[in-house]
Each structure stands twice: as C-alpha cells, then as structure tokens.
Amino acid sequence: MTRQPFSLRALGASLLLAGCASAGAANPSVAALRVYLFDCGSIDVSDVSTFSPGVHVGQAKVLTDTCYLIAHPQGTLMWDTGFGDALAALPDGKQVSPVFHVRLNKPLATQFKEIGYAPDAVTYLGLSHMHFDHIGNVGQFPRATLLMQTEEYAFSLGPDAAKFGNDPLTYPTLGANPVKRLSGDLDVFGDGSVVIKRALGHTPGHQMLYLKLPRTGNVLVSGDMAHFTENWQQRRVPGFNFDKEQSLKTMNDSAAFLKDNHATLWIQHDAEQNAALKHAPAFYE
C-alpha cells in the first residue's frame, strides 16, 4: 500500500517472525492449473482520499488484503502473503497509522493446512511489491525461489533499502531465499499460463500476475496497480505512489492488455469484488 513509517516496519517485523513455519511434506500435484484465493486480512481506511487525492475526502472505506496460491503441474507459486499471522491473535486488530486499522481473521498457515498444502514446500514466491501488507508471511516460504523485479530487490534488499523507507530487519528471512531477479515479464512455468508482468509505478519494481485458467478464462491479478474499482475506472493514482506518470502508463497499458487478451482484472484490495469471488478451500481452474 504505502511506504511504511518506523512503527509499521516494527509491526511488520513482529508479525513476520511469528509467521515463520516449520518444514513440511511435498505439496499435492495437480493435472491442470488452479488458483486458491486466501483472505489475508482487511484494512479499515478512515479517509479513502489517501488513495484518490481530492476525491471522497474524509469518507471511510474497507479494503481487503487478498493473496493467492497458484498450483501448476510443474510446481506452485505463492503470490503475495498478506499480513503476518500474529495479527490474528489480536481480536480487535491493530491501528497502524492515523488512517489504517488492520485485521486478520484466520492465519494463512491455517488456510494452507485446510487445503492440504505446506508453505515451506512452495516452489516460487512472487511478491507484487514490498509494502508491509503484502509481505507479512514471507518467512513461511523459506525454500521458495523469489521472483522479483531488479528495482524492487534493490528497493527492499539492496544496500540503499533505507533510502526508500525499507528495513530488511522487518523481513529477516527473505534475503536468504533463492532469487531470480527480473527486468521484464517472466513465463514462470514456460507454457504461458502463469506470467509475471512488469508493472512499474506504485513502487520502483511493482509487478502483476497473469493467469490463463482453462475453465475460468484469463485473469490479471492487480497487485496495487489500483486499490479498488472506482480508482481503476477513473485512473486515479495515490499520492504516495513512487512514480505517478509511470503508474498512469501501467494502468493504460494494462487496460489495453485486458482487452487484447479478453481477460478479467482481479483487484487484490477491492473488498466488494473479492466478496463475490470463491475463496479457499474452493478454487478456480
């Protein structure tokens, strides 16, 4: 979402460390591509104009925090990891800034167990970007190969991470993951069905995920290109985005991509849209 101040970084560190998992068995195999949606938290926003400067000033809105497990015959990809599981132990959630109050109803580790998968056996870890609401459980995936744009790696794990407001001590396990640094799109399994798409602007190395599901159709998973449908439709850019012009270019390019590929946009933070989608243990294929 936004570049986090020290208090949010400290919260992220405590939740992340509590979210680390122990070793587990190999994950189930699948005959065809499928995707599980997980409820990885919610965000009560007291002033939604944080995301749309000058529009709906002072109005409240609830955002969701969705993350995804993609199961492919050749392996698995975890896309974003939400808030750290320790947040679920706080029944009233946590106020993390004057504008954001966050909650988590069920730990991600529990949701994995319910579908018979083990986080530490996941093949790949794809993070749309490194803001705290997308990385809370990275410690549960210590063996996964991190797939990250080169700029985002420098933004979060390079020697100048502090310049961008990041502190690797808040995600202490991530630097030990095997990593494949990207400078563009990546066809994860080599068959065109799972493609990480370079989508700069929200952060220096933001990326999205494109899925070609046999029965559901083509889906583009947004990351934080847009946080809810109205902002997407109106091409509104949050004031805290890294690069406004690049953000607008990414949205316009994505609109053309969606049209050309007859794809649906899944907006990760859009609570209303996500309420209408199936969540684990159900799945799309």
Per-residue pLDDT reduced to its tens digit, 255-269: 999 999 999 999 999
Mean pLDDT of the chain: 92
Checking if the pLDDT of 14 tops 80, the result is no
Total-model pTM: 0.90
First vs last C-alpha separation in the chain: 28
CA nearest neighbour of 1 among 249, 272, 210, 206: 206
Checking if the pLDDT of 66 tops 90, the result is yes
Sequence-ordered list of residues with C-beta below 8 angstroms from that of 276, at least 6 positions apart, any chain: none
Checking if the pLDDT of 24 tops 90, the result is no
Out of 19-23, 154-158, 202-206, least confident range:
19-23
Q: Give me the percent of the chain exceeding a pLDDT of 90.
A: 86
The separation between CA 56 and the C-alpha centre of its own chain, rounded to angstroms, equals 25
DSSP letter for 120, please: G
Q: CA–CA distance from 276 to each of 82, 154, 173, 266, 270 (Å)? A: 19, 36, 34, 11, 10
Checking if the pLDDT of 59 tops 50, the result is yes
The separation between CA 46 and the C-alpha centre of its own chain, rounded to angstroms, equals 22
Q: Give me the percent of the chain exceeding a pLDDT of 70.
A: 91
Greater pLDDT, 166 or 30: 30
In this predicted structure, what is the pLDDT of residue 170?
84
For residue range 89-98, list pLDDT tens digits in order: 999 999 999 9
For residue range 136-180, list pLDDT tens digits in order: 999 999 999 999 999 999 999 988 888 877 888 889 999 999 999
DSSP string, 27-64: PPP-SS-EEEEEEEEEEEES-GGGTSTTSSTT--EEEE
In this predicted structure, what is the pLDDT of residue 203?
95
| Mean per-residue pLDDT, 116-137 | 96
